[in-house]
Amino acid sequence: MKQYLPIWTHEWLGVALPILQIVLVIVVAWGLRKAAHRVLNQLSDRWELPPEVKLGGRRLSTFLIYFAALLIILERLGVSGTVLWTAFTGFAAVAAVAFFAAWSVLSNIFCAVLLLITRPFRLYDHIELLDGSDGRGLGGQVVDMNLISVTLRETHEDGHEAHLRVPNSLFFQRITRRWREAPPPRPLPDPDAPRKRSRQQQAGGGGASLF
């Protein structure tokens, strides 16, 4: 192939070919990801799979495709498979030690498995976590579920939205209310609420008897 190209381009072939190969790998990986998501959507519509299974399948397929593409790109750059495997096992060992050191992370992962099995709520349900008081607790529409937390979309009276990330373990520590329909919009947070609460506590403590 070099004999058909100008002489001044020979020096650039060693740089241009790896770049073209990397771009081709990225394009193929992107196409495979789109195709995998399309297949998962068709299977989900045909078999009426739960949204959690569909979301988990999309994330798993994306991770596997992009991870394989990363390995191919590193191999094109001259990184050997032995070095990659050594780095991966080392990272896995460090991650395992870190997970065992952070018990809260392990607790949330275990609670995520229990939420998937028991299914007290599903994706896009409207739920609320009651804290035992008369006021409304954390609540909103479930828009995402992962191994660490559940994301709730909270809608206020003025139409603005906010996203709350609730740890999975909190669902086993409080009572969960599940709405059949969308609940009324939540009132705007009172910026003076902490000050009023502290005044009430001071007023209650000041009138207490010493005996």
- Identify whether the C-beta of residue 147 lies closer than 8 Å to the C-beta of residue 97: no
Region class of 119: left (phi > 0), else alpha (psi between -120 and 50), else beta: left
* Dist CA 208 CA 172 (whole Å): 36
Mean pLDDT, range 139-156, rounded to an integer = 90
Task: Please give the pLDDT value at position 207.
Answer: 46
Give pTM, 2 decimals. Answer: 0.58
Task: Please give the pLDDT value at position 36.
Answer: 93
Report the side by side order of strands in the sheet with 175-179.
Answer: 161-167, 149-155, 138-145, 126-130, 175-179
* Residue 88, pLDDT above cutoff 90: no
Query: What element of type H or E holds 82?
Result: helix 81-101
**pLDDT over 90 percentage in the chain:** 21
Using alpha carbons, select from 150, 157, 159 the residue that is nearest to residue 178.
150
DSSP string, 171-204: GGTSEEEEESSPPPPBPPPPTTHHHHHHHHHHHH
Task: Quick: pLDDT tens for 17-51.
Answer: 788 888 999 999 999 999 999 998 888 888 888 78
Task: Name residue 59's amino acid.
Answer: R
- Identify whether the C-beta of residue 128 lies closer than 8 Å to the C-beta of residue 138: yes
Residue written as token pair 């050594």: 86
Give the model's confidence band at 179: pLDDT under 50 very low, under 70 low, under 90 confident, else very high: confident
